Amino acid sequence: MKDSLEVLEKEIGYIFKNKNLLKNALTHTSYAYENKVKSYERLEYLGDSILEFISSKYLFENFEKLSEGEMTKVRAYAVCEDSLYKIALEHNFSDFLYLGRSEKMSNTNKKAILADSVEAVIAAMYLDSNNIEIVQDFILQNIKEQVEFASKHIGIKDYKTCLQEKLQENGEVQIKYNIIKEEGPDHNKTFTAEVECEGKKLATGTGRSKKSAEMEAARKAIKIVE
């Protein structure tokens, strides 16, 4: 049975007056088609625009040294599918999605669905509150770290690449990632990865895939070596 939406409201820090808006924001097209209800597609469209505006405004006001092109690159990194997917995982959106039978069976686009649902929830939050500052708080709480990282490493594609470049500034070193733990059922596993340099353990990270766990370990390691 699907968890109560009150749990998700607590996760995102906002209580909806119109609960149907939140449910709509979590309704995938497959469920909408099978049950003759609205999907989150229109909300996703609005949420994408709100997310772009808030992130652009934040960059404009807080990163005066960045050029237009650099701000565009930072924004693209901070609000890309991977970043939105991470937000969805942190707030357990997957426990609340309304998916049709076909989508549950295939489960092929889960990453994209979760990312889309974050944009839809942002739009629903705005429509329900009619208060852009509430939405802004939620967005910035969840993207500030990515913005800070990207502003320092414009053009760097990911945390693993950045860590490698930092560790190899004075010559080549051996960097190794190990999956040290797997938890949960096959359809919902959590992995823990460890990154080491020249045999020295730097940091560990967890994620819903081996790649995301390694990326999280690299992110934590960057903070240590900076």
Residues labelled catalytic: 48, 119
Q: Render the burial of 71-108: b for 16+ CB within 10 Å, e for the rest.
A: bebbbebbbeeebbbbbbbebebeebbbbbeebeeeee
Q: Give the separation between CA 96 and CA 119, rounded to whole angstroms.
A: 15
Q: Give the separation between CA 146 and CA 76, rounded to whole angstroms.
A: 10
- The strands making up 200-207's β-sheet, listed across from edge to edge, are 175-183, 190-197, 200-207
Sign, CA torsion 183/184/187/189:
negative
Q: Give the separation between CA 180 and CA 182, rounded to whole angstroms.
A: 7
Q: Tokens for 74?
A: 């930072």
Residue with tokens 């005066």: 64
DSSP β-bridge partners for residue 204: 194
